[in-house]
Structure 1
Amino acid sequence: MSLVHNERTKYLATLVNTIAAATIAAGVVAPLVAFTFGVPGPFSGGFAIAVSVVWLSTGAALHYAVRIILGRLRP
């Protein structure tokens, strides 16, 4: 039974980690690339940086949650 539990736990961790990566890509990488190419965005200046920091923090928190989830693996 622990094999089934471990596999389900790993699938959950993969899902959450994928969401974390997408969060960082959408909230930090995409605006940075857009800024590099001079594409105007809906936000500018300090507010845009603050929004990117929030997205980065959310992605990091989700990634940390994955580490907690993987800590529930059974031997």
Structure 2
Amino acid sequence: MSLIHNERTKLLANALDRASTACLTVGVFAPIAAALYSATSSISATPVFIVGAVCWIFTAVVLHISARHILRRLQ
């Protein structure tokens, strides 16, 4: 029974870690790439990018730490 429990725990932790990677990609890297490769640049949107990036990074860190915390349940 503990083997099944361990595999389910690892599956959940991996899902949360993948979600944290997706948050980082979608919320930080994609807007940076869009700003770098955009034909029109808007300096006035910079604070919006910064606030959004900080929120997405925070979300990614929380998900990653949650995944690490869940791994402590391994038997």
Asked if these proteins are the same fold (TM beyond 0.5), I'd say: yes
Give every structure 1 segment of 4 or more consecutive aligned residues whose post-TM-superposition deviation is greater than 2 Å.
Answer: 38-41
Length, aligned pairs only: 73
SS in 2 for 1:45: helix
Give structure 2 stretches of 5+ with no counterpart. none
2:19 is aligned to 19
Q: Percent identical across equivalent pairs?
A: 38
How does 1:29-40 map onto structure 2 within 5 Å? 29-38=29-38
Give structure 1 stretches of 5+ with no counterpart. none
**Contact 1:34-1:40 within 8 A present in 2 as well:** no
Q: CA deviation at 1:44?
A: 1.0
Q: CA deviation at 1:40?
A: 5.7
Q: Please report the TM-score for the alignment, with normalisation by the length of structure 2.
A: 0.88
Query: CA 1:6 to 1:35, structure 2 compared with 1: closer, same or farther past 3 Å?
Result: same
Name the structure where helix makes up a greater proportion of residues.
2
- CA distance in structure 1 between the aligned counterparts of 2:59 and 2:72, rounded to whole angstroms: 20
Q: CA deviation at 1:36?
A: 1.1
Q: Please report the TM-score for the alignment, with normalisation by the length of structure 1.
A: 0.88
1:67 and 2:58 correspond: no
